[in-house]
Structure 1
Amino acid sequence: MRKNNSLSIWLKYLEKIDKKVVFNLSKLKFIAKKLNLLNSKAFIFTVAGTNGKGTTCAMLETLLLNSGYQVGLYTSPHLINYLERVRINGSILDAEEHISSFKYIELVRCSYLLSYFEFITLAALFLFQKKSLDIIILEVGVGGRLDATNIIDSDLSIITNIGIDHTSVLGYNRLSIAREKSGIFRKNKISVIGEIDIPDSMKNIAKEKKTILKKINKDWFWNKKNHYWNFIHPDIELFSLPLTHIPLSNTALALSALYYAGFKITEEVIRASISRVKLPGRFQIISSFPFIIVDVAHNPDAALYLFKKINDLDIKGKIYALIGMLEDKDISGIVHPFKKIINYWYAAPLKTSRTATSEKLKKNLPSGNTIVLNSIHEAYKIVKLSLKKQDAILVFGSFLTVSEFISAKNIEDKTDISKI
């Protein structure tokens, strides 16, 4: 593999070796130490949580960049292209830089097997090491305690919320999940918590590790009015702030973390920046006549938030849902809020071995108005035949669902243009 110059072949190689791995952070830390990746001069934010990690990271990145800092961001999963996972000063890197980092990790790891995520995390840290960065933002993949990003001792950790997801890895209740996410806590370091109802397991681990918790509605606050919102922090009070495209809870959490970290972002930068932050695949409206809305919601909490956003729209016609999900997700819990507003369900397995099967999708979707097809592309082609301008298509269930739909739409739109 060391001589290969194709990013796609490298990624297929990493996916292949991933199946042979037993997760072991001590092994990963040993390799990272050989690569000299554990002693960054940059300030490190680590962001964990069930939902809202990506939007919180995006807000941190934007505010810091607009304040003149040099910023590296590592996030996952990607929506369309692997290159999305690493940004330096707001820009993605070219494939050659990623391939170069892969080759170096492959050389140093020797006989140690690494999972896909462990390998690419080391590669991202290696890319950051080559730049002169003031701040690095690391988005946790799953959980926290055993996540590859947790080999780094962050200067400030963030936990967005605690919901039920990845139960086969993190446990089947909030106590267990909170315990895993609390693995990113560090001694005498601040952790900013956006979860209102903090499980006892998180409080206990913070006490054991002597982590300083800064909690919403106790140490910092925000509240929404009709057309603006307010943010209250020991270091700053901001009133009549503009509304944002991403959830206000994540915007407030990012602001709070920045001030607890000692970054004095000016009010001028905050007011000019926060309403500009958008993230693809997060309540993304890509058409209005008809409405086409894509969202990566893949657990009950995210689905409930999406349901509320849909209800705020003035949709006059019918709503068609295009949904695909992974096999380990709570399909019934995710679908439940939408049963009264979705007119027709179009479901399909995803292009991954981890997909929920056609049978499982059919079993968990409303009977009578559900059609299960072979692919998201096929579902979109069929929905288009009935779609009117006052109608809406809602695409959700997974990052892969949104990715496959966007690819399908691009193909179909090109086909439509060629017929004119």
Structure 2
Amino acid sequence: MINNNYSLSKWLKNLENINKKTIFNLIELKSLAKKLNLLNSKAFIFTVGGTNGKGTTCAMLERLLLNSGYQVGLYTSPHLINFVERVRINGTVLNEEEHVSSFQNIESVRNNVSLTYFEFITLSALILFKRYSLDFLILEVGLGGRLDATNIIDSNISIITNIGIDHTSFLGMDRESIAFEKSGIFRKNKISVIGEIDIPNSMHKIAKKKKTILKKINIDWFWEKKGDYWNFIHSNVQLYNLPKTQIPLSNTAIALSALYYSGFKIDEKVVRKSISTVQVLGRFQIISTIPYIIVDVAHNPDSAFYLSKKIDEVNVKGKIYAVIGVLKDKDILGIIEPLRNIIHYWFAAPLKTIRTATKDQLKNIFPKNNTFVLNSIHEAYKKACISAKKEDAILVFGSFLTVSEFFSFKR
């Protein structure tokens, strides 16, 4: 049992060590949630899964709903600076005391039930939501879907942004296996909005088995970029000449699609006013322009490819210096490859986690002729700053933890 007098930081430190279970089973978790009366929310619920773009899709959903006058709860992960970022009520984080209170609530009924860190904090988020009168809940899947803690909740609409190769040790080595796991959030006779163009067969099979209603991109809904504007076509609405967004258009479009399938009133004026205002911390975030300092949480091949396209749009006049830290279980070569021809120098360093790629691993993987391997992200960034001129760019990426460390010394 954990001491109920702990501060939030002490709670979190202890939660990381309460167990090391590797076999996930939602039966006990759901039973505990039932005991806490968390399974019968009156709110309309979106569950958002996928390989990339979950956080930005959630942020767009939240902003559109808030600007439409609804009461909204958002649960997302991971955090970049402070744990309290993971739960927002009507766009605002809660104080640490409210989180500690919900932790205490769980611990008072947990007994000997073994919970992972993520399972514990997911229950906590649901407790916090229950304390407010909310119209909508937006739940971001942490890992996969089928065995993710968020999957104890029956959503009204499920969203899958895309299917890429990531977390292979948990989800499988190919897209069919990964799609099977992510399709675990489907619900009988409920709509699932799919942003993946090339849908794996396993997803179709799960949808048929669960009698889920799939709403697929380029079949049931569409979006197209037209220069400085874009269009969105949906069975319930057609929107033309929409303004540019600060997050990927694909994520904006899937959020819009899910909202219009929900049946709730979303005024077109609100859409046009809102979509260009959404920005998410650490998602192609431009900190400075002289020189360019850009941070991005890209951490797998698909997101690295998207990042390469975004850098092309910036049209940097000088050289590009990459500050990068990666986890050892990632496809590091796959992350490097889309950027290999546009990065002039790499400043690589281990992260502050046991899961990090070590200095020796970084030396063996990164290009030999233009890579410097440093002791920390802070040291790597300082080295890049010394090298960069005003017409150059410094790109910080490779992991959520890389960006988190960057913000820890840049605040």
Q: TM-score range by the shorter chain?
A: over 0.9
SS at match of 1:276: coil
8 Å CA contact retained: 1:61, 1:73:
yes
Using the TM superposition, name which of 192-201 and 352-361 deviates more: 352-361
Verify: 1:50 aligned to 2:55, yes or no: no
The code of the aligned residue for 1:350 comes to L
Aligned to 2:7: 6
2:162, 2:19 → 1: CA distance? Answer: 28
How far the C-alpha of 1:20 sits from its partner, in A, is 4.4
Report the identity percentage.
Answer: 72
How far apart are 1:113 and its partner, in Å? 1.1
Q: Distance in 2 between matches of 1:341 and 1:251?
A: 27
Corresponding position of 2:41: 40
- Secondary structure at the aligned position of 1:16 is classed as coil
Partners of 1:97 and 1:247 in 2: CA distance: 33
* Deviation string, structure 1 residues 316-337 (Cα, Å, up to 9, x no partner): 1111100001111000000011
Per-residue CA deviations over 1:334-382 (Å, capped at 9, x if unaligned) read 0011111111100111001111111111222111111111100111122
The answer to whether the 8 Å contact 1:42/1:135 transfers is: yes
Q: Tell me how far 1:21 sits from its aligned partner.
A: 5.8
Determine if the alignment matches structure 1 residue 244 to structure 2 residue 245. yes
Maintained 8 Å contact 1:2/1:107:
no
CA spacing shift, 1:22–1:109, aligned 2, 3 Å: farther
Q: Is the 8 A contact 1:376 1:408 kept in 2?
A: no
Matches within 5 A, 1:249-288: 249-288=250-289
Q: Note if contact 1:380-1:408 (Cα within 8 Å) is conserved in structure 2.
A: no
* Partner AA of 2:177 in structure 1: S
Aligned partners of 1:255 and 1:21: how far apart in 2? 36
Partners in 1 of 2:408 and 2:110 — Cα distance? 35
What SS does the corresponding residue of 2:215 show, helix, strand or coil? strand
Matched, 1:233 2:241: no
Look up the match of 1:173: 174
Contact 1:53 1:160 in 2 (8 A): yes
Return 359-368 or 216-225, whichever deviates more. 359-368
Counterpart for residue 414 of structure 1: none
1:349 paired residue number: 350
What is the DSSP-based 3-state SS (H/G/I as helix, E as strand, rest coil) of the residue aligned with 2:126?
helix
Which string of whole-angstrom CA distances, capped at 9 and with x for unpartnered residues, describes residues 108-154 of structure 1? Answer: 11111100000000000000011100000000000000000000011
Matches within 5 A, 1:271-420: 271-410=272-411
Instruction: State which drifts further: 326-335 or 356-365.
Output: 356-365
Is the contact between residue 4 and residue 10 of structure 1 (CA under 8 Å) also seen in structure 2? Answer: no
Higher mean C-alpha deviation, range 118-127 or range 312-321: 312-321
Other structure's SS at 1:142 match: coil
Contact 2:41 2:130 in 1 (8 A): yes
The match for 1:91 is 92
Q: Secondary structure at the match of 1:133?
A: coil
Q: What corresponds to 1:416 in structure 2?
A: none
SS in 1 for 2:46: strand
CA distance in 2, matches of 1:294, 1:18: 33
User: Structure 2: which amino acid aligns with 1:331?
Assistant: I
d(CA) in 1 for partners of 2:68 and 2:74? 16
Q: Contact conserved, 2:246 with 2:278, CA < 8 A, in 1?
A: yes
* Partner residue in 1 for 2:70: 69
- 1:386 deviates by 1.9
Q: TM-score, normalised by structure 2?
A: 0.98
The equivalent residue for 2:60 is 59
1:179-258 to structure 2, matched below 5 A, reads 179-258=180-259
Query: How far apart are 1:94 and its partner, in Å?
Result: 0.2
Equivalent residues of 2:385, 2:394 under 8 A apart: no
What secondary structure does 1:327 align onto? coil
Q: Distance in 1 between matches of 2:78 and 2:113?
A: 24
8 Å CA contact retained: 2:319, 2:343: yes
Letter in 2 for 1:175: E
Root mean square deviation of aligned Cα? 0.9
Give the equivalent residue in structure 1 for 2:123: 122
Distance 1:143 1:76 in 2: 13
1:175, distance to aligned residue in structure 2 (A):
0.2
- Normalising by the residue count of structure 1, what TM-score does the alignment of the two structures yield? 0.96
- Uncovered stretches (5+) of structure 1, i.e. residues with no partner: 411-420
* 1:100 counterpart letter in structure 2: S
Q: Which amino acid aligns with 1:165?
A: D
Letter in 2 for 1:327: K
Deviation track 1:60-119 (CA, whole Å, cap 9, x = no partner) reads 000000000000000000111100000000000000000000011011111111000000
Structure-2 residue corresponding to 1:417: none
Distance in 1 (alpha carbons) for counterparts of 2:169 and 2:93: 33
- Determine helix, strand or coil for the equivalent of 1:161: coil
Q: Deviations over 1:183-234 (max 9, x none)?
A: 0000000000000010000001000000000000000111000010000111
Is contact 1:21-1:113 (8 Å) kept? no
Aligned partners of 2:154 and 2:187 also within 8 Å: yes
The equivalent residue for 2:108 is 107
Tell whether the 8 Å contact from 1:18 to 1:114 is kept in structure 2 after alignment: yes
Which contiguous aligned blocks of 4+ residues in structure 1 show a shift greater than 6 angstroms? none
Deviates more, 1:167-176 or 1:10-19: 10-19
Confirm or deny: 8 A CA contact 1:293 1:393 kept in the other structure.
Answer: yes
* Aligned-partner Cα distance in 1 for 2:30–2:371: 48
8 Å contact from structure 1 (residues 55, 246) kept in 2 = yes
Deviation, 1:409, is 2.8
